[in-house]
Amino acid sequence: MNISDDFLKLSWEITPLEKRKRTKRFILVTCLSFIGLLISSLFYFGSDFTSWALRGGIKFALNRVFYIVIGAIGSILFFFLLNFILPYKKRTYFLDNEKLVISKGKKKKYFLWNEFDCFYLHRFYRGSSNKQDPTAKKILKAKQTIEGQIFYLRKKSTNFFARFYKVLVVIYSEPDNAKSVLNLLARHLPKKTMKSTSDLGLVFYQFK
């Protein structure tokens, strides 16, 4: 089988400016989705709005809706401010058939593939009850389109005490190379589905 160079070697970097711009776009898309869902649920399903109108009149109900929308807008502004002041660090990644090299700011580390058990794709929602949630699917798709995919690589237990905790090495892909990263990881590690218990318990994240 012929394997292209993209599957044998990958490298990319995510600068603080790129991260800030992508997070800003994702916050906007996510918050607008929630606001639209909130307003449509109030007027379409009508249970809350009707009860407020019956209890205090139409003006009272509209005021409640107004305060909810103002609160949602305030939340958007808060997340934008948080994104503006957070000290993002430059990230670099290098993957080939022998190793994985990650840096975040001044921190840099080399990993061999045999140091890991498996890898997961990050999920916003888990469990069969939430898989059909259209809002969750929309948010997940927006994140992958704007920010790329997140991969969790689970390290092997190296001693007796390591059996009682988990170490997950985190990789953030670019929006346009997530499939290549997935294919390269799958060449060296088994891919497992992230469940509700995959990152529970005592978990240490590296390069998150």
**pLDDT of 44:** 52
Going from the C-alpha of 32 to that of each of 73, 150, 168, the distances in angstroms are: 9, 23, 32
Residue found by looking up tokens 């058939």 in the block: 97
Backbone phi and psi for residue 189, each to the nearest 5 degrees, phi listed first: -135, 150
- Tens-digit pLDDT profile for residues 25-44: 888 887 777 766 666 665 55
Radius of gyration of the chain (CA): 21
pLDDT category at 105 given cuts 50, 70, 90 is very high
Going from the C-alpha of 45 to that of each of 1, 49, 50, 56, 63, the distances in angstroms are: 55, 9, 9, 19, 18
pTM score, two decimals?
A: 0.74
pLDDT category at 168 given cuts 50, 70, 90 is very high
188 has a pLDDT exceeding 90: yes
Mean pLDDT score of the chain? 79
5-9, 54-58, 148-152, 168-172: range with lowest mean pLDDT: 54-58
